[in-house]
């Protein structure tokens, strides 16, 4: 059963979670009672160069609190970027050694197409609904991906790093993302995928 209380604030679930705010991204937390250490994060908005640091700090607070099984509901995120993929990779790197994992929930078809094109759908757990996500964590018999994760992480970083652009307008050296708009620019999609595959 999923705990749902509209009056529960994020700070009651993860202390200090709502201490900061940012433009363009809102996160609502919900505990998953049937799975120890499991947290559902509803994302609304977008993840880009300017708010990715905030996003990573928020999720780091959740991990530090003991939530190592993370479900990201991304149905209401408007764009996909290399920065966003890099964030999810960083989260995996943090929780895998603790026995955790993450699920990307309710991914838009055009976003899923990008993940397939780049090969990320092979190692990110992508589910269509919350029941499937919970079942992934509660299943007594499932594939353990921990052994192959270091190789996956290295390959992901090899693919992502060459396409990140450092902009003089960014702060703290956070890379400029390569984005696809919500309408799905297929020319950009093809160029993005080609650059990823070629490492250019």
- pLDDT confidence bin for 191, thresholds 50/70/90: low
Domain 10-198 is of which CATH architecture?
A: 2-Layer Sandwich (3.30)
Decide which of 181 and 117 is more confident.
117
So what's the pLDDT on residue 161? 53
So what's the pLDDT on residue 173? 37
Per-residue pLDDT tens for 132-167?
999 999 883 354 544 444 455 555 555 555 544 433
> What does residue 13 show for φ and ψ, rounded to 5 degrees?
-90, -45
Assessment of whether the complete model's pTM goes beyond 0.75: no
CA distances in angstroms from 23 to 20, 50, 52, 64, 117, listed in the order given: 11, 9, 11, 24, 30
- pLDDT confidence bin for 52, thresholds 50/70/90: very high
**For range 6-30, the mean pLDDT:** 87
What distance in Å separates the CA atoms of residue 185 and residue 193, rounded to the nearest whole number? 12
Q: Based on the number of CB atoms within 10 Å of its own CB, is 39 exposed (0-12), middle (13-18) or buried (19 or more)?
A: buried
81 within 8 A of 167, measured Cβ to Cβ: no
Structure tokens at 168: 């003089």
Classify 99 in phi/psi space as left (phi over 0), alpha (psi -120 to 50) or beta: left
Buried b (16+ CB within 10 A) or exposed e, 148-183: ebeebbeebeebbeebbeeeeeeeeebbbbbbbeee
Q: Domain locations in the chain?
A: 10-198
Q: Is the pLDDT of residue 113 over 80?
A: yes
200 within 8 A of 162, measured Cβ to Cβ: yes
Where does the chain have alpha helices with state H?
Answer: 10-13, 52-65, 82-95, 109-118, 130-138, 149-160, 186-198
* Percent with pLDDT over 70 in the chain: 66
**Residue where the block lists tokens 């937390």:** 29
So what's the pLDDT on residue 175? 39
The gap from C-alpha 180 to its chain's centroid, in whole angstroms, comes to 16
């Amino acid at each position: 059963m999923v705990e749902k209380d509209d009056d529960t604030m994020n700070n009651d679930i993860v202390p200090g979670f709502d201490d900061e705010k940012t433009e363009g991204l809102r996160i609502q937390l919900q505990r998953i009672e049937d799975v120890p250490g499991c947290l559902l994060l509803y994302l609304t908005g977008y993840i880009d160069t300017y708010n990715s640091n905030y996003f990573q700090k928020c999720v780091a607070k959740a991990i530090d609190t003991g939530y190592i099984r993370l479900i990201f509901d991304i149905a209401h995120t408007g764009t996909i970027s290399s920065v966003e993929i890099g964030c999810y990779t960083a989260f995996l790197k943090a929780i895998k050694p603790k026995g955790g994992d993450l699920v990307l929930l309710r991914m838009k078809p055009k976003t899923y197409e990008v993940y397939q094109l780049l090969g990320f759908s092979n190692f990110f757990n992508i589910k269509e609904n919350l029941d499937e996500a919970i079942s992934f964590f509660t299943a007594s018999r499932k594939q353990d991906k921990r052994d192959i994760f270091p190789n996956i992480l290295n390959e992901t970083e090899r693919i992502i790093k060459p396409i990140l652009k450092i902009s003089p307008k960014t702060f703290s050296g956070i890379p400029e993302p390569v984005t696809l708009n919500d309408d799905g620019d297929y020319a950009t999609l093809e160029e993005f995928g080609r650059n990823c595959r070629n490492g250019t």
